[in-house]
Amino acid sequence: MADPNFFPKSKKLTLDQISKLTKIPLPKSADKNRVFLDVSPLDSASRDNISFLDNKNYINQFKKSKAGACFFKKDFKKIAPKNMIPLISTNPYYSFALLANFFYPMKDTTTAGIHPKAHIETSVKYDDTVRIAPGAIVSNNVDIGSNCLIGSNTVILSGVKIGANTAIGSNCTIAYSIIGSNVKIHNGVRIGQDGFGFAQNQNINLKMPQLGRVIIKNNVEIGSNSAIDRGTGPDTIIGEGTKIDNLVQIGHNAIVGKNCIFVAQSGVSGSTKIGNNVIIGGQVGIAGHLKIGNNVRIAAKSGVMKNIDDGATVGGVPSVTIKDWHRQTIILKKLISKKKNGK
């Protein structure tokens, strides 16, 4: 599945080990000692590979797959290939991800220690497990936890705190921030720069001092070239377990709950509060000073201009409930069709 030059594989696993790792029961007829060497997509899997089916668009590949075992929902058991061991899962993609993470643990190979071409101020606190790459600059009174990585040409400004096991990529800038543990920040991210706030008076746009911080909770991931502005007075907060894609903008004073998903090129304006377990599609724009409830789903390219209640699924510009959005689309198609036909 993966190029071993970039992704060295951990080791082989027996079916019994796979079952215990993923908590998926085995069929009674399955050989628990059978060995599997890798994970693989359906169309390229071989007898000693494990695959998964989580999308009906791949049913034809599933039927023809040579995978020795496969995670899928029980609805597809009747059409599974005869020689494929069924691993029935309520969430096949998650089960496959658990296994893939075991086969391919993401280990950074950077040697522990401070590269001689990195610049570290004497007041910085860190231990000998920290890795700092060439060209990095770490300013006064920064506190870096154990097993952290600071990438090449990244700048950490004064007073920043970074929790244990956090990896910060190359060419990042981190300022006025408290970063939790087990955080992954990809290349080119900007955290803690000025929020976009101006007081207007006739022809004058007076800059509002941005006196808050950015708080990144544990287990957050932030994609390449995303930006998170610091607060004006209250802090900007990213909740635990939230995952942010590339090219995402989060404005000052925004509060994001736990386990949210932000897809690429989405943007959140200042002082908006987002609940837990919210999924925000690509290129979504959310206006400022709004409240987005828990478990909300926002379709790609939507424009959110009012509060959204818990559990709602919305789409469109301006965003409406998903049912209303579909109705609007159907009505619009009919109107266009009538105009084309001269009616």
Active site residues: 252
Spell out the alpha helix ranges (H) of 281-321. none
Contact call for residues 310 and 275 (beta carbons, < 8 A): yes
The residue among 250, 186, 182, 187 whose CA lies nearest residue 214 is 250
**DSSP category for residue 187:** T
Cis previous bond, 318, omega within 30: yes
Tokens of 249: 């903008």
Contact call for residues 274 and 254 (beta carbons, < 8 A): yes
List of residues 6+ apart from 142 with CB closer than 8 A:
121, 123, 124, 125, 156, 157, 158, 159, 160, 161, 162
Phi-psi region of 204 (alpha: psi -120 to 50; beta: other; left: phi over 0): beta
Name the pairing type of β-strands 38-39 and 303-304: unpaired
Tokens of 225: 């070239």
What is the C-alpha R_g of the chain? 24
Strand, coil or helix: what is 289? coil
